[in-house]
């Protein structure tokens, strides 16, 4: 099969990268772009390398046109109506293909948002209090930008004020946890903000307070743990079911 050189560590394709290549495959009528010299492949290679500067610096082969071409083939052959050889893409590839089939317009928008997150010259704010662990590894430019926006101190402060005004307290919208009720003064105003619409991170539009959900740290982590991200309501349903389970 493929002659992958042993000294090149394989870097798994991220959800964002697969969405970007799948968007090109869809534009090509769900056919692979089987030419590494094709300008769409060359441009995607440049974009993906720009999105993962650390990997790109480590290897000239990282997401090179040949790799993008192969990925476009994995994606095209993962389509359920594809007749031919076996599909080589993994679960994430299959998930992305399914999503493009069921929500083509939304996925096209998402691809544009991922592209903008890479090419937008606005610098990424530093994220001092974000785990730099496997969940948010280098290369997930879009995800990092999403989380950075959620940490905007000013919109967070205004959202907390709004909750105090409307509800008289600040609590998690998924599980109801109130840090002040649990920890006293030490927990006052301790809450995280979550963008209900991840696409809203792109473009000049200011974050509207109604787009921000207040979440405890656990619920916020759970929403972002796997793709696709859950909605606040979906997570709330999980929490309710969990409470029923543990009650026995």
Stretch that binds Zn ion, among 47-55, 100-108, 156-164, 218-226 (CB under 5 A): 218-226
Instruction: Single out the residue of 97, 172, 212, 213 in contact with Zn ion (rule: CB under 5 A).
Output: 172
Stretch that binds Zn ion, among 69-77, 93-101, 149-157, 199-207 (CB under 5 A): 149-157
What character string, x for contact with Zn ion (CB under 5 A) and - otherwise, covers 184-213?
----------x-------------------
If the CB atoms of residues 74 and 192 are measured against Zn ion, the closer one turns out to be 192
Tell me if 37 sits within 8 A of 31, measured CB to CB: no
Q: Indicate whether 222 belongs to the interface with Zn ion (CB under 5 A).
A: no
Q: How far is the CB of 223 from Zn ion (least distance, A)?
A: 6
What character string, x for contact with Zn ion (CB under 5 A) and - otherwise, covers 54-93?
----------------------------------------
Instruction: Single out the residue of 75, 175, 201, 232 in contact with Zn ion (rule: CB under 5 A).
Output: 175
Distance CA(72)–CA(216), nearest Å, equals 39
If the CB atoms of residues 10 and 247 are measured against Zn ion, the closer one turns out to be 247
Q: Indicate whether 174 belongs to the interface with Zn ion (CB under 5 A).
A: yes
Instruction: Single out the residue of 191, 216, 222, 232 in contact with Zn ion (rule: CB under 5 A).
Output: 216
Phi, psi of 193 (to 5 degrees): -100, 140
Distance CA(114)–CA(51), nearest Å, equals 9
Using CB under 5 A, list all residues that contact Zn ion.
150, 172, 174-175, 177, 194, 216, 219
């Amino acid at each position: 099969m493929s002659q992958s050189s042993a000294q090149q560590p394989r870097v798994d394709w991220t959800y964002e990268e697969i969405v970007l290549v799948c968007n090109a495959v869809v534009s090509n009528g769900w056919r692979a772009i089987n030419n590494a010299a094709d300008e769409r492949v060359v441009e995607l290679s440049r974009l993906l390398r720009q999105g993962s500067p650390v990997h790109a610096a480590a290897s000239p082969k990282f997401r090179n046109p040949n790799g993008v071409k192969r990925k476009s083939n994995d994606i095209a052959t993962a389509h359920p109506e594809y007749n031919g050889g076996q599909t080589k893409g993994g679960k994430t590839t299959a998930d992305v293909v399914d999503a493009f089939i069921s929500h083509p317009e939304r996925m096209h928008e998402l691809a544009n948002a991922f592209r903008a997150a890479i090419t937008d010259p606005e610098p990424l704010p530093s994220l001092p209090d974000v785990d730099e662990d496997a969940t948010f590894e280098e290369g997930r430019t879009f995800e990092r930008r999403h989380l950075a926006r959620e940490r905007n101190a000013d919109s967070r402060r205004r959202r907390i004020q709004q909750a105090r005004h409307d509800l008289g307290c600040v609590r998690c919208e998924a599980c109801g946890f109130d840090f002040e009720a649990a920890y006293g003064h030490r927990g006052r105003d301790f809450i995280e903000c979550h963008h209900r619409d991840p696409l809203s991170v792109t473009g000049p539009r200011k974050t509207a307070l109604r787009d921000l959900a207040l979440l405890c740290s656990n619920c916020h982590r759970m929403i972002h743990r796997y793709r696709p991200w859950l909605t606040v309501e979906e997570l709330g349903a999980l929490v309710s079911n969990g409470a029923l389970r543990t009650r026995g």
